[in-house]
Amino acid sequence: MGEIEETANKIVREKIEVRKKFYPRNEAEKKFGMRLYQGGAVPGKNIRVVEIKGKDAQACGGTHLNNTGETGKIRIIKASKIQDGIVRITFTAGKAAERNEENVSEVLGEAAELLGVEVEEVPGRARDVFEMWKKARKAAKKGIHLDDSEFQFGRPEKFQGDVLQKTAEVLQTQKEHVVNTLKRFLKELEEMKEKIL
């Protein structure tokens, strides 16, 4: 998703003119092809085409900006597979994207504090916690006692990239649930350690 976000923001920075024009349907289809209808069929003999020259053209009746720069920064929040070959991307732009970045910063700050590491070390430490949690859970179920040395943290590696996304992947949860998931794993880990140490 990082490449898509980067490409989208490059187009925003280029401030490309956004053209809005009505065409007779057959002329629009001849000029732009059937890609006009990516958002679904559009009724009427004349259709309004919104075009970012050299990038995309869509049949759309809604209002639009005059150039791509008016969009503001784009931030992808999540992507989910709808079916083979189709992925739904949820994103924010402009002030909403800025608020989202502030929220991400707060979530990562809280996660780093919970784990006692720097922000870029959160994915590695989250992986350690998750692995220890799985080990403790298995031992507790089987009634096996483990040595305290098996629950000592090493220095986690620093992660380059989308720290929150990577942490969510490690914990097998959504980004917005990272802090609560970490709290749950840490709490349950402490409870299980009392039984197995």
- Burial class from Cβ neighbours inside 10 Å (0-12, 13-18, 19+) for residue 178 reads buried
Asked if the model's pLDDT at residue 153 lies above 70, the reply is: yes
Rounded mean pLDDT of 130-152? 84
Give tens-digit pLDDT for 73-93: 998 887 888 888 888 888 889
Measured distance CA(49)–CA(30) in Å, rounded:
13
pLDDT at 81: 83
pLDDT digits (tens, 9 = 90+) for 100-138: 888 889 999 999 999 999 999 999 999 999 998 998 888
Would you say 91 and 72 are in contact if contact means Cβ atoms under 8 Å apart?
no
Query: How confident is the model over 159-167, as a mean pLDDT?
Result: 89
Place of tokens 């980004």: 175
* Over residues 144-148, mean pLDDT: 79
For residue 63, report the phi and psi dihedrals to the nearest 5 degrees: -75, 160
Note the pLDDT of residue 1. 66
pLDDT given at position 64: 80
Task: Please give the full DSSP string across 83-125, using - where no structure is assigned.
Answer: ETTEEEEEEEETHHHHHHHHHHHHHHHHHHHHHTS-GGGHHHH
pLDDT score for 21 = 93
Eight-state DSSP code of residue 173: S
Average pLDDT on 29-50 reads: 89
> Which of the 8 DSSP states describes residue 67?
B
For range 155-179, the mean pLDDT = 89
Task: State if pTM tops 0.85.
Answer: no
* Token output for 81: 């597979």
The tokens of 14 are what?
Answer: 């280029």
> Structure tokens of 175?
């980004």
pLDDT of residue 51: 92
Interatomic CA distance for residues 197 and 184, integer angstroms: 20
Domains and CATH numbers, the chain: 17-66 (3.30.54.20), 96-196 (no CATH)
Distance CA 171, CA 23 (A): 50
In the chain, % of residues over pLDDT 90:
51
In one-letter notation, the amino acid at residue 106 is E
Tell me how far CA of residue 113 lies from CA of 123, 167, 182, 192, in angstroms: 13, 14, 11, 22
